[in-house]
């Protein structure tokens, strides 16, 4: 067994108090996100998406592409594993881990597809290679080897040469609509700040959770 018990850091970057919170969780998210972007060493919009399947929960990192008061938008193949799981159970979770600021944001809610028009508009803004990639990859499908994938991509390059690439019908966006959002700030002695927004009908309330 590899012993990692000595891998500890003391969290002393900041604090999170009730008086500092915005009234709406998405405003609080936006405030924290804008503080994080300048110090992020990777992709600031990376988030862990967890879904529920027949064999239990699965998680993977996806990229947040849009957010507003109604929720968080990401894109995927509808026939992928995550797409199939969301079709069967629309409950999902998001986790943002912002190590540089010793912060996490945890989101629980339900997921719905965004409109075809919204998905098409975003698809048209993607780099051409990414558009071709959406056609070439039958996401989560078992393939023989890397060569099969690259061969598919090259074939599509020739097929679409000089043409506009339309969005595949099995590809598009999802919006996770939050029902609970927890903002976690690391503190010394492991006495972390955890403030959770939760819905009571159409109103957001806040409660403090023990670390």
Residue 92's domain is classified under what CATH number?
Answer: 2.30.110.10
Predicted confidence (pLDDT) per residue in 175-201, tens digit: 999 999 999 999 999 999 999 999 998
Asked whether residue 56 is domain-assigned, the answer is yes
Distance of alpha carbon 179 from alpha carbon 56, whole angstroms? 21
Average pLDDT across the chain, whole number: 95
Domain that includes residue 56, residue range = 18-120+166-208
In a domain, 201, yes or no: yes
d(CA 36, CA 103): 9
- 39 pLDDT band, cuts 50/70/90, is very high
Residue 58 domain flag: yes
In this prediction the pTM is: 0.91
- Is 45 part of a structural domain of the chain? yes
> Which DSSP state fits 155?
H
- Looking at 37-174, list the stretches that DSSP marks H as alpha helix, in order from N- to C-terminal side: 81-88, 116-125, 128-136, 146-159
Tell me which residues are annotated as active site: 190
What are 83-101's pLDDT values in tens digits?
999 999 999 999 999 999 9
Number of domains, the chain? 1
Residue 47 resides in a domain: yes
The answer as to whether 112 is a domain residue is yes
Largest CA distance in the chain: 61
Query: Is residue 138 one of the residues assigned to a domain?
Result: no
* H-helix or E-strand spanning residue 35: helix 25-36
Residue 61 within any structural domain of the chain: yes
């Amino acid at each position: 067994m590899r012993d990692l018990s000595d891998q500890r850091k003391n969290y002393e970057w900041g604090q999170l108090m009730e008086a500092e919170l915005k009234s709406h969780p998405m405003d609080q998210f936006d405030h924290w996100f804008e503080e994080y972007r300048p110090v992020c060493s990777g992709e600031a919009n990376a988030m862990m998406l967890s879904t529920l399947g027949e064999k239990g929960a699965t998680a993977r990192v996806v990229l947040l592409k849009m957010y507003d008061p109604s929720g968080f938008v990401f894109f995927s193949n509808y026939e992928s594993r995550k797409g199939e799981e969301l079709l069967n159970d629309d409950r999902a979770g998001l986790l943002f881990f912002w190590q540089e600021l010793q912060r996490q944001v945890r989101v629980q809610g339900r997921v719905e597809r965004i409109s075809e028009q919204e998905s098409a508009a975003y698809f048209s803004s993607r780099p051409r290679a990414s558009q071709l990639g959406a056609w070439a990859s039958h996401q989560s499908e078992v393939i023989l080897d890397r060569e099969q994938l690259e061969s598919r991509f090259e074939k599509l390059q020739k097929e679409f040469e000089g043409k506009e690439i339309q969005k595949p019908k099995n590809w598009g966006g999802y919006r996770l609509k939050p029902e609970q959002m927890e903002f976690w700030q690391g503190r010394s002695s492991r006495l972390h700040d955890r403030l959770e927004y939760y819905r009571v009908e159409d109103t957001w309330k806040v409660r403090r959770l023990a670390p």
